[in-house]
């Protein structure tokens, strides 16, 4: 189940948290992985782990907001492994400390939209051009904050945008006769560096333990997520086991949005 043998996958933000776990899961499932990150050292670390486990991967430096770099990343993927058939648009930043629209700046709004939404558009645009000949699966990491409010206007808007961008492209690819599926994934709070950093700026909690306990209350399942919970869902969507799933949203949130 969920094997992706022979598939070539690009994972953005693959140096940390969900991107790292996803890169490792896809490699363990038989894929050859191009791990990209603006933090090149982090991407190399993920690739080292994959290789130690007998998997195949390369690391590339990439700022996902740079359109020219997208073209280069795809080109290097093709020349190293061949045509990519999986893209995971995972790189993102949080909107912590930007809940108050009246005190926020347009620059702060643009920075979040640029990485969390504009870059997903760029990745999809370039990947579809490559994938349309032989098909593929694009998985865009949105959030529960793309479904319900609670993370500040820019983060909510960016992740809501990813949700509908994915549906729009799923319909486009279908109408064009491309065998490309596009889906979004909506994690609840996952105990990654991005979430742990909330403790540093929060006015409500002062330690990571307090943060964990406060977030726990919102997850009926009784724990926060770990990156592997999301990686498993992404691997399913990347695999042919999900071949009838497109334009869909996979919520992996321990019941957060069920309340």
Query: Is residue 214 involved in binding ligand NAD (CB under 6 A)?
Result: no
- Min dist CB 107 to ligand NAD, Å, is 15
Among 92, 123, 136, 254, binds ligand NAD (CB under 6 A): 92
Q: Going by DSSP bridges, is the β-strand pair 136-141/32-37 parallel, antiparallel, or unpaired?
A: unpaired
Minimum CB separation from ligand NAD for residue 223, in Å?
13
Q: Would you give the DSSP letter of residue 16?
A: S
| DSSP E strand boundaries for 19-122 | 32-37, 56-61, 86-89
Encoded tokens for 52: 């130690």
155: annotated active-site residue: yes
178 versus 189: smaller Cβ distance to ligand NAD = 189
Cα(129)–Cα(122) distance, rounded to whole angstroms?
11
Name residues contacting ligand NAD, limited to 152-191 (CB under 6 A): 187, 189-190
List 40, 44, 83, 93, residue binding ligand NAD (CB under 6 A): 93
CA distance 144 to 254: 11
Q: Torsions phi, psi of 230, nearest 5?
A: -80, -40
73-78, Cβ contacts within 8 angstroms, sequence gap of 24 or more? 73/10, 73/34, 73/36, 74/10, 74/126, 74/127, 74/129, 74/130, 76/34, 77/8, 77/10, 77/34, 78/130
CB of 86 to ligand NAD, least distance (A): 16
**Which lies closer to ligand NAD via its Cβ, residue 5 or residue 41?**
41
Task: Count residues binding ligand NAD (CB under 6 A).
Answer: 29
Q: Min. distance of Cβ 42 from ligand NAD in angstroms?
A: 5
16 binds ligand NAD (CB under 6 A): yes
Site for ligand NAD in 108-127 (CB under 6 A): 115
Contact present, 26 and 54 (Cβ < 8 Å)? no
The least CB distance from residue 257 to ligand NAD, in Å, is 12
* Catalytic residue (one of 81, 155, 178, 256): 155
216 binds ligand NAD (CB under 6 A): no
Q: How far is the C-alpha of 56 from the C-alpha of 34, rounded, in Å? A: 9
- 2, 29, 137, 143: residue in contact with ligand NAD (rule CB under 6 A): 143
Whether the CB-CB separation of 212 and 192 falls below 8 Å is answered with: no
Classify the phi-psi angles of 186: left when phi > 0, otherwise alpha if psi is within -120 to 50, otherwise beta: beta
Site for ligand NAD in 32-51 (CB under 6 A): 37-39, 42
Catalytic residue numbers, as ranges? 155
Residues that bind ligand NAD (CB under 6 A): 12-13, 15-19, 37-39, 42, 62-65, 90-93, 115, 141, 143, 187, 189-190, 192-195
């Amino acid at each position: 189940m969920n094997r992706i043998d022979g598939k070539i996958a690009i994972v953005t933000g693959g140096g940390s948290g969900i991107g790292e776990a996803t890169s490792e899961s896809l490699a363990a499932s038989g894929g050859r992985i191009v791990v990209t990150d603006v933090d090149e050292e982090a991407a190399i670390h993920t690739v080292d782990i994959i290789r130690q486990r007998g998997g195949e991967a390369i690391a590339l430096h990439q700022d996902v907001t740079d359109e020219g770099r997208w073209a280069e990343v795809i080109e290097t993927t093709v020349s190293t492994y061949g045509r990519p058939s999986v893209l995971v648009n995972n790189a993102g930043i949080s909107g912590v400390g930007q809940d108050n629209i009246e005190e926020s700046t347009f620059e702060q709004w643009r920075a979040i939209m640029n990485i969390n939404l504009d870059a997903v558009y760029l990745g999809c645009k370039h990947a579809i051009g490559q994938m349309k000949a032989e098909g593929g699966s694009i998985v865009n990491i949105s959030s529960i904050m793309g479904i319900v409010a609670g993370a500040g206007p820019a983060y909510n808007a960016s992740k809501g945008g990813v949700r509908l961008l994915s549906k729009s492209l799923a319909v486009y690819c279908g109408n064009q006769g491309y065998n490309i599926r596009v889906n979004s994934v909506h994690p609840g709070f996952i105990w990654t560096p991005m979430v742990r950093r909330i403790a540093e700026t929060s006015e409500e909690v002062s330690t990571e333990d307090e943060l964990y306990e406060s977030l726990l209350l919102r997850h009926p399942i009784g724990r926060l997520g770990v990156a592997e919970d999301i990686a498993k869902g992404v691997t399913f969507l990347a695999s042919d086991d999900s071949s009838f799933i497109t334009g869909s949203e996979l919520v992996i949130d321990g019941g957060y949005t069920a309340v």
